[in-house]
Structure formats: C-alpha cells, structure tokens
Amino acid sequence: MTACIVGWAHMPFGKIQDKTVEDMIVEVATDALAHAGLGPADIDEIYLGHFNAGFSRQNFTASLVLQADPAFRFKPATRVENACATGSAAIAQGIKAIQANRARKVLVVGVEQMTTTPGKEIGDNLLKASYLPEDGDTPAGFAGVFGKIAHLYFEKYGNQNDALAMIASKAHSNGMSNPYAQMRKEMPFEFCRDESEKNPIVAGPLKRTDCSLVSDGAAAVVLSDVESAQSHDQAVLFRANEQVNDFLPMSKRDILQFEGCKVAWKQAFSNAGLTIDDLNLVETHDCFTIAELIEYEAMGLVPEGEGARAIKEGMVTKDGKLPVNPSGGLKAKGHPIGATGVSMHALMAMQLTGNAGDMQITDANIGGIFNMGGAAVANYVSILERVK
C-alpha cells in the first residue's frame, strides 16, 4: 500500500450538547495536525466523513474543516458518506488520492452529532441505512432489522443468548479502559443475559445491552505517502484497505453469512500476504452483538454457525488468541455514525504504536479493522502494521 497514518486525534464520545458539529470538527482537525507535527500548508486534500441523514440542519459540511485554520482556505475538501461505514469510506478516499499521486498528505475527519435529535427522528434517520421498500416499516427501526437477523440466526443455530451476553459484557469490561468511551461501566454477564426492567427486549431476541449507543463525537487521522511518512516519529502502514459492497435488499442474499464482510476480509488477507493468524487484534463493527458474533465467522476465526465458540472459549478476550474490540467497540465506546470508522483507525494506530494506555494489547504490531454500512452492505477492511 502507498499510505500510512502519521497522526491522529480522538475526542471522548457521548452526549455532547455544549459543542456543535463544527466545534467537534475543528477540535479533532487541530489536534490531529498537531500530533502529526504538521500545519495546514502541509495538507493537500481534506475528506470529511459525515452521515447526517437528518441529524444536523447544516447538511453541507465539508468546508467546515477549513474553520480549524484560515490557512486551509482553497484546499480541496470533500464530504464522504456510506452509512455506518462513512468514516472508513472517507479514509479510503484519502488513500486513493495518495495512490493516484494527487496528494502526499491528507486530513480525514469523521463526525456525528446524534443526541440533539428527538428519539423518534433518530430511529427514522438510522433506518435510512436499510432498504426501505422491504424494511421501511420495521418495528424498532434499525434495531428491528438486526433483531430479524438475530431471530433467523437463533432459528438456524440455536439460542445464542449466552454468547450475545458474553459479547456485551466483554465490550463493557474493555470499555472501562478506554478514556474516549461513552459508557465506562461494567455490565455483568447475568445482567446482559436476563431480560429485566433495566434491560428490556428491544427487537427480536435483542435486549438493550445488545445495542450500540446513540452518540456524539469526532475523530481524525492524518494520512501520508510512505516516503514522507519516514520523517515522522510514528507511522502505521496500510497493508490492505478493501471495500466490498453487497446488495442493499437483505432478500437478495444470505444475511446470516455477511458475505460482503467475508469477501472484504479475504481480499484484504490476500493483498496483504497475511492470514488471520498474523493479526494481533481486531476492531470490528459491533453495532449489535449479533453482528460481532457473525463477524467472527466472516473473518474466518471460526466456521459458519460456530461464532459462539469464539467468545465462550475466550479467543476474543483481551488476553485471548485474537483480542476483538479492546476499545469496548461501538457497544461501549459509542457509535457516532460518521466518526466510527475514523475512530477505529485512530485507536488501532494507538495500539500499534504502543500508545493505547490501559487498552494496550501487548506486542501489537499488526491489526485488522472491519467497519460496515447497513446490514453488511458497505464493507471496509483495513490491515495495519507498525512501521515506526
């Protein structure tokens, strides 16, 4: 690959009502540049990941990055959107600009502000990431879509309540170590497993603890061509960066296989010349616990239908064979749509350079990222390796 991450910034996710979308963009853009030791004059192109879909009245947001510094004026800035994979889509565009020799340094920002929107509208906005002719009237909105998936999985492979509760509990335990996480609170297995007043059923077999958080936040990374990256104190190389899109209607595919996810991982491993056994950790898209369960299978960690083994046998815990979501994932960290993919890359860069603090996985040198838009529709896989 011809791109590296040489700087990053990440603000705490959560309910942020004292800052606007513009404020958050400016904050992380400024901090990422400072972390990379660069100024606006060094940046050739800007990409902003911002889903919006009704969350913000300001819908034309690419040039808000220029508010970070007047010296950004006249730099090309483009907003990128691909549902919940928006942040990774923005990074992919930045890498392509570098590969095409149109840029040597690219600033990528991901942002979303969701909590200022009324609850009913939040659900309506998120449901726009599904195929409305089939799913537009789904009770419980996007959670209902994944509730259907969970119901079908349970029907085919048996009750998975214990496995899903273990995934949720793992996420919250890991999130305790993440200073950027929205929810830094332990959730015992029994609480996550049992339906209760505080943990009601949301959709299908999914409970509240199976669902990621409505969240605000922003993150940013600075991308560089490999040659220029050598002058930086820290650099993380893209060994692979793959995008695979699948049909939007779930009726046109086997939704229990997450085939787009599977193909994206396969392509990434092939292009990187690696296998899953070479990875030291993974950050994967756990918008719902059932998604993480199926992703264990799609990435090749366990065979189809045996996702529960990965969590029950401890493969994916922080001290397991392949730690998955040591950050706490979307489940504990929060899921501000446009920021999520950028956040995953920033956190992975921290891990691979030994800067992840209490989240740190020992001897982490190669990591994988999976970020998806919709129900495994827009699928992005990155494989990153420390080079400095």
Q: Beginning with the edge strand found earlier in the chain, give each strand of the sheet holding 216-224 in spatial order.
A: 77-80, 45-49, 105-113, 216-224, 4-10, 236-245, 378-386, 366-373, 281-283
Instruction: Check if the beta carbon of residue 110 is closer than 8 Å to that of residue 92.
Output: no
Instruction: Check if the beta carbon of residue 49 is closer than 8 Å to that of residue 111.
Output: yes
pLDDT value of position 2: 81
Task: Tell me the residue ranges of DSSP E strands in 71-126.
Answer: 77-80, 105-113
Residue ranges of the domains in the chain?
4-117+214-229
Q: Choosing from 10, 232, 285, 335, which is the catalytic residue?
A: 335
pLDDT value of position 1: 65
Q: b/e map of 113-125 (b: 16 or more CB within 10 Å)?
A: bbbebeeeebbbb
Catalytic status, residue 335: yes
pLDDT value of position 159: 98
- Residue among 336, 333, 369, 388 at smallest CA distance from 91: 369
Q: Tell me: the pLDDT tens digits for 294-323?
A: 999 999 999 999 999 999 999 999 999 999
Alpha-helical segments (H) within 211-288 = 226-229, 259-272
CB-based contacts of 166: which residues, under 8 Å, 6+ apart?
189, 192, 311, 312
State if pTM tops 0.95. yes
Q: Choosing from 4, 50, 84, 285, which is the catalytic residue?
A: 84
Instruction: Check if the beta carbon of residue 370 is closer than 8 Å to that of residue 330.
Output: no
Q: Tell me: the pLDDT tens digits for 61-81?
A: 999 999 999 999 999 999 999
Q: Tell me: the pLDDT tens digits for 124-181?
A: 999 999 999 999 999 888 999 999 999 999 999 999 999 999 999 999 999 999 999 9
Calculate the CA dihedral of residues 182, 185, 186, 189 and round it to 10 degrees.
Answer: -60
CB-based contacts of 19: which residues, under 8 Å, 6+ apart?
27, 216
Instruction: Check if the beta carbon of residue 109 is closer than 8 Å to that of residue 48.
Output: yes
pLDDT value of position 108: 99
Confidence check: pLDDT of 268 > 70: yes
- Residue among 182, 222, 219 at smallest CA distance from 10: 219
pLDDT band at 200 (very low <50, low <70, confident <90, very high): very high
pLDDT band at 388 (very low <50, low <70, confident <90, very high): confident
**In CATH, what number does 4-117+214-229 get?**
3.40.47.10
Instruction: Check if the beta carbon of residue 223 is closer than 8 Å to that of residue 43.
Output: no
Q: Tell me: the pLDDT tens digits for 3-58?
A: 999 999 999 999 999 999 999 999 999 999 999 999 999 999 999 999 999 999 99
**Tokens, residue 11:** 């603000």
pLDDT value of position 6: 98
Cα–Cα distance list, 367 to 8, 250, 331 (Å)? 16, 30, 20
Catalytic status, residue 4: no
Q: Tell me: the pLDDT tens digits for 326-376?
A: 999 999 999 999 999 999 999 999 999 999 999 999 999 999 999 999 999
